[in-house]
Amino acid sequence: MSGDGHFDRVALIGLGLIGSSLGHAMKRGGLAGEIVGSARSDATRARALEIGFIDRAETNAADAVKDADLVVLCTPVGAVGAVAQEIAPHLAKGAILTDVGSVKASLIDDVGPHVPDGVHFIPGHPIAGTEQSGPDAGFPELFDGRWCILTPLEGSDPDMVAKLSSFWEACGTKIDVMDAKHHDLVLAITSHLPHLIAYNIVGTADDLETVTKSEVIKYSAGGFRDFTRLAASDPTMWRDVCLNNREAILEMFGRFSEDLAAMQRAIRWGDGDALFDLFTRTRDIRRSIVDAGQEVAAPNFGRDPAKED
Amino acid sequence: MSGDGHFDRVALIGLGLIGSSLGHAMKRGGLAGEIVGSARSDATRARALEIGFIDRAETNAADAVKDADLVVLCTPVGAVGAVAQEIAPHLAKGAILTDVGSVKASLIDDVGPHVPDGVHFIPGHPIAGTEQSGPDAGFPELFDGRWCILTPLEGSDPDMVAKLSSFWEACGTKIDVMDAKHHDLVLAITSHLPHLIAYNIVGTADDLETVTKSEVIKYSAGGFRDFTRLAASDPTMWRDVCLNNREAILEMFGRFSEDLAAMQRAIRWGDGDALFDLFTRTRDIRRSIVDAGQEVAAPNFGRDPAKED
């Protein structure tokens, strides 16, 4: 085993946006001797082979993990427990078992008990994605410049954590390590709440009787369209996130709702100074995100014609 | 006067994002014999002349509107009343007076009483923008393919409405006409609420003590970064929108909050079916917006490296 992020055989369980992007990234970097992919749908497996981000497809996850020295669970978070149970007897001694799930504490509860002795279970989460899903959604650059958070268990072998870190770095990410509970809190505000708020406002707009859907669509460039991107994300994935990170999400919901009530009150009472202060304070954070390389600097995300300089 | 959208002299009162973009669009289309710009800041006027989207700069709005056959108020909505009072005695007989404000009913109340007989006051609102502001933010393509809503008063001269429509069409927009009250309701959901929700969530994230600002920035690609764009918009403009469209905004806030409470409840009680249904329903609206030409189809707004096909 080397520290260069290379594995002899990698098994991808689930071939959606993240699984397919990981396949592309491994191909780009020459990170795997063989990539074996497993998905329940015949069409998905056939398409994955056709695109070529896996070398071999298996119907059953249990067959895919045989002799793999890296197994990556890329299914929605709600399915990982059943998958872990299915593959457990077939995992190779010394293999690393990881995942890409957006929730970590419940996943450790679901997967951990099935992991046999001698298999290194190191949960992970690359903070990258698009609103698209399925085997056609992946591309090799998805992880470039993004962060991957690893949440090793107590007693995880540091050499194995280092090996998995090298693998993700070779896929383009930077690495952070934290405990699962903190990960779930951080993601609740940076990812889960934004998606849920976006789903919610799009749902609200869809339900109005005083404004037609056609009007919402035509005038969406006033701001609304931004939210429709997150609200077009995979429903199964996000249902599972809600069901598996309930506590942290509800805590962040509580904070958000308190702040929203304060804003409503400021609007109702015409407190322009309070509104101006908030609207000024929030400007800085975007600049910081651009400076940190996590966002483009171009106006409108660069989607409109470039301004002339 | 012709129906081709050309004016002999256009006065732009306010030279920020919309004023400067309008100057660029007029230059691009050859839509004005002379463009006169007015702004309170010396630096803004100098920069506007330097960039060249105006031909002449005036310190006082009253001087800028002299002999103009089109006057466009491009200041924040809170300032239009005072500007109208200042320019009223200097407006040319037969001129069209319009604006670009995001709120229409209160603007009509503020401006209307000052408009002298013989001047055609036709409020307008191009649904286009970026998160940037100031005279450097403008570019000629800002309005291309977007909608401009006109809200003529009862008794407005149809020929003058047609002339202003031609002008905006020559600037790149499509035209809709509706009454001011309906405009304010439509914009409350398509623009005002999205901005306020974005400001709110960015404020919430900024205030947390359990998650650091550095973590919010690093992991913002999980979704949060999308909201920071709207939350980086001009604070004065958005304060004025809140103060001038209170009723419609609070109504939309009420709907949003009800739906949010229902979502929170579904999460708390683990109602996966309700969540899945909402998350599925909201996918369609983005597709409709893309089909309507109001949004790019590329994943992540096209800001990340293009996927390979």
> Is pLDDT at A129 greater than 70 in this prediction?
yes
Contacts of B129 in chain A (CB under 8 A): 221-222
pLDDT of residue A223: 96
Residues 237..296 of B with a Cβ closer than 8 Å to A: which?
A: 238-239, 242-243, 246, 249-250, 252-253, 255-257, 259-260, 263-264, 266-268, 270, 272, 275-276, 278-283, 285-289, 292, 294-296
Considering the domain architecture, whether residues A83 and A165 belong to the same structural domain is answered as yes
User: Which of B157, B178, B199 is a domain's end point?
Assistant: B178
Cβ–Cβ below 8 Å for B197 and A194: no
Considering the domain architecture, whether residues A112 and A223 belong to the same structural domain is answered as no
Per the domain annotation, does A104 fall within a domain?
Answer: yes
Per the domain annotation, does B2 fall within a domain?
Answer: no
pLDDT of residue B218: 95
Per the domain annotation, does B309 fall within a domain?
Answer: no
Cβ–Cβ below 8 Å for A275 and B195: no
> Is pLDDT at B306 greater than 70 in this prediction?
no
**CATH (domain of B280):** 1.10.3660.10
Nearest chain B residue to A299 by CA: give it.
B130
User: Which of A123, A144, A178 is a domain's end point?
Assistant: A178
Whether B195 and chain A come into contact, CB under 8 Å, resolves to yes
Closest in B211, B232, B272 to A243, CB measured: B272
Contacts of A263 in chain B (CB under 8 A): 196, 199-200
Closest in B132, B200, B263 to A259, CB measured: B200
Considering the domain architecture, whether residues B249 and B275 belong to the same structural domain is answered as yes
> Is pLDDT at B1 greater than 80 in this prediction?
no
Whether B47 and chain A come into contact, CB under 8 Å, resolves to no
Nearest chain A residue to B224 by CA: give it.
A190
Whether B51 and chain A come into contact, CB under 8 Å, resolves to no
pLDDT tens per residue across span A200-252: 999 999 999 899 999 999 999 999 999 999 999 999 999 999 999 999 999 99
pLDDT of residue B4: 79
Backbone angles phi, psi at A35, to 5 degrees: -110, 120
**Amino acid at site A169:** E
> Is pLDDT at B307 greater than 90 in this prediction?
no
Per the domain annotation, does A126 fall within a domain?
Answer: yes
Backbone angles phi, psi at B149, to 5 degrees: -100, 125
Instruction: Put the strands of the sheet holding A124-126 in their side by side order.
Output: A124-126, A147-150, A174-177
Rounded to the nearest angstrom, the minimum Cα separation between A10 and chain B is 22
Considering the domain architecture, whether residues A215 and A231 belong to the same structural domain is answered as yes
Contacts of A144 in chain B (CB under 8 A): 305
d(CA B7, CA B68): 8
Q: Which two tokens stand for residue A104?
A: 């970590």
Considering the domain architecture, whether residues B187 and B166 belong to the same structural domain is answered as no
Rounded to the nearest angstrom, the minimum Cα separation between A29 and chain B is 16
Per the domain annotation, does B31 fall within a domain?
Answer: yes
Backbone angles phi, psi at A150, to 5 degrees: -105, 140
> Is pLDDT at A24 greater than 60 in this prediction?
yes
Whether A297 and chain B come into contact, CB under 8 Å, resolves to no
> Is pLDDT at B308 greater than 60 in this prediction?
no
Q: For the residues A192-197, what does the mean pLDDT come to?
A: 98
pLDDT of residue A305: 57
CB A107 within 8 A of CB A80: yes
Percent helix, percent strand, percent coil in chain B, to nearest 5: 55, 10, 35
Whether B204 and chain A come into contact, CB under 8 Å, resolves to yes
Whether B305 and chain A come into contact, CB under 8 Å, resolves to yes
User: Secondary structure of A204-267 in the HEC alphabet?
Assistant: HHHHCCCCCHHHHHHCHHHCHHHHHHHCCCCHHHHHHHHHHCHHHHHHHHHHHHHHHHHHHHHH
Contacts of B230 in chain A (CB under 8 A): 223, 226
Considering the domain architecture, whether residues A54 and A190 belong to the same structural domain is answered as no
* Confidence grade of residue B5 (pLDDT, cut at 50, 70, 90): confident
Instruction: Put the strands of the sheet holding B147-150 in their side by side order.
Output: B124-126, B147-150, B174-177
Rounded to the nearest angstrom, the minimum Cα separation between B1 and chain A is 30
Contacts of B18 in chain A (CB under 8 A): none
pTM of the model: 0.94
- Domain boundaries, position A253: 182-270
Rg (CA), chain A: 21
ipTM value of the model?
0.94
> Is pLDDT at B2 greater than 80 in this prediction?
no
Cβ–Cβ below 8 Å for A130 and B282: no
Give the count of Cβ contacts less than 8 A between chain A and B.
374
Contacts of B235 in chain A (CB under 8 A): 276, 279-280, 283
Rounded to the nearest angstrom, the minimum Cα separation between B185 and chain A is 7
Per the domain annotation, does B304 fall within a domain?
Answer: no
* Confidence grade of residue B7 (pLDDT, cut at 50, 70, 90): very high
User: Which of A122, A149, A178 is a domain's end point?
Assistant: A178
Considering the domain architecture, whether residues A48 and A124 belong to the same structural domain is answered as yes
pLDDT of residue B303: 85
Per the domain annotation, does B71 fall within a domain?
Answer: yes
Contacts of B276 in chain A (CB under 8 A): 235-236, 239
**CATH (domain of B106):** 3.40.50.720
Q: Could you tell me whether strands A147-150 and A124-126 are parallel, antiparallel, or unpaired per DSSP bridges?
A: antiparallel
Per the domain annotation, does A172 fall within a domain?
Answer: yes
Considering the domain architecture, whether residues A246 and A109 belong to the same structural domain is answered as no
CB A235 within 8 A of CB B283: yes
Closest in B195, B200, B224 to A191, CB measured: B224
Closest in A185, A198, A289 to B225, CB measured: A289
Round the average pLDDT of chain A to a whole number and report it.
95
pLDDT tens per residue across span B79-96: 999 999 999 999 999 999
Cβ–Cβ below 8 Å for B230 and A230: no
Cβ–Cβ below 8 Å for B276 and A239: yes
pLDDT of residue A3: 58
Cβ–Cβ below 8 Å for B282 and A246: no
Nearest chain A residue to B272 by CA: give it.
A239
CB B188 within 8 A of CB B203: no
Considering the domain architecture, whether residues B125 and B67 belong to the same structural domain is answered as yes
The C-alpha angle with vertex A13 and arms to A247 and A185, in degrees rounded to 5, equals 20
Cβ–Cβ below 8 Å for B229 and A300: yes
Percent of chain A's residues with pLDDT above 70: 97
Cβ–Cβ below 8 Å for B252 and A204: yes
Considering the domain architecture, whether residues B117 and B253 belong to the same structural domain is answered as no
Contacts of A308 in chain B (CB under 8 A): 24, 139-140
Q: How many domains does chain A have?
A: 2
Tally of residues, chain B = 309
Q: For the residues B251-257, what does the mean pLDDT come to?
A: 97
Q: Which of A124, A279, A105, A184 is nearest to B215 (CA)?
A: A184
Considering the domain architecture, whether residues B17 and B157 belong to the same structural domain is answered as yes
Closest in A215, A263, A270 to B243, CB measured: A270
Considering the domain architecture, whether residues B166 and B188 belong to the same structural domain is answered as no
Instruction: Give the single-character DSSP code of B132.
Output: -
Cβ–Cβ below 8 Å for A196 and B263: yes
Nearest chain A residue to B50 by CA: give it.
A309
Cβ–Cβ below 8 Å for A229 and B275: no
